[in-house]
Amino acid sequence: MPKPLILVSNDDGITSKGIRILVSVMKKLGEVVVVAPDSPQSGMGHAITIGETLRLTEVDIFEGVEAYKCSGTPADCVKLAKHYVLKGKTPDLVVSGVNHGANTSISVLYSGTMSAAIEGALEGYPSIGFSLCDYSSKADFSHTEDWIEKIAKQVLSNGLSKGVALNVNFPPKQNEDLKGVKVCRQADAKWQEEFDERFDPTGRKYFWLAGNFVNFDKGEDNDEWAIANNYVSIVPCQYDLTAHYAITHMNKEWNWDELKP
């Protein structure tokens, strides 16, 4: 029986610590191909490269693994993998990460890590984005490996609904073991941004994005609660952004006759 074909990408760049861990785990499960950005692409969301050149270079970084660095975004990487690198082969799984930093709650909208996973879901591939909620330069990823393998095996065995990608976040390494997994919803939380006005050495004005993260959610069924309580959070995400409940309300409550010519 042939091994599953697994496509690996990320947004921290092809030389990051997180992707090395992800590749090492995926090698246990199947045939691995890597297409990842040649430099960090954090916060790119689902951006794609238009009007500029895209470069793709094969690299010998991961032992025994076909790998390419790409000058584009995480979404570009998955698109190029489908249309060029895989040469018509269909991956059984797309995984992205392990991101160095959280992608819980609203961060999923800005995440390059999740954009690679969502792009995989757009193409009809079971997809997972993995992130570690620790921004420290000395962040310890070791406690994520067994869970990454278990979760990937579940997806390979059970598949995912059409258009769904899993957003998986791990708490920082603690003295106690992780308590388990919580399949949950995205928390009602956001960044309250501030733009710090500064001046460079030549006197030219620039702005630096700052601010604080605020969690408005008091529930115990969301990703922020799970992470705060030392659980792995798994949020099933979809690319269909339609607010379906609003369609019924607008058709029923709004007076569309006023808009008739």
240 is in an annotated binding site: no
Helix (H, G, I), strand (E, B), or coil: what is residue 213? strand
42 is in an annotated binding site: yes
> Across 101-141, where does the E strand assignment appear?
127-132
Contacts of 68 (CB under 8 A, 6+ apart): 34, 35, 36, 56, 57, 58, 59, 80, 85
229 is in an annotated binding site: no
146 is in an annotated binding site: no
- Separation between Cα atoms, residue 99 and residue 58, nearest integer Å: 22
* Side-chain half-sphere exposure of 33, counting CA atoms within 13 A: 22
Residue keyed to tokens 């921290």: 12
Residues annotated within a binding site = 11-12, 42, 99
Write out the binding residues for a divalent metal cation: 11-12, 42, 99
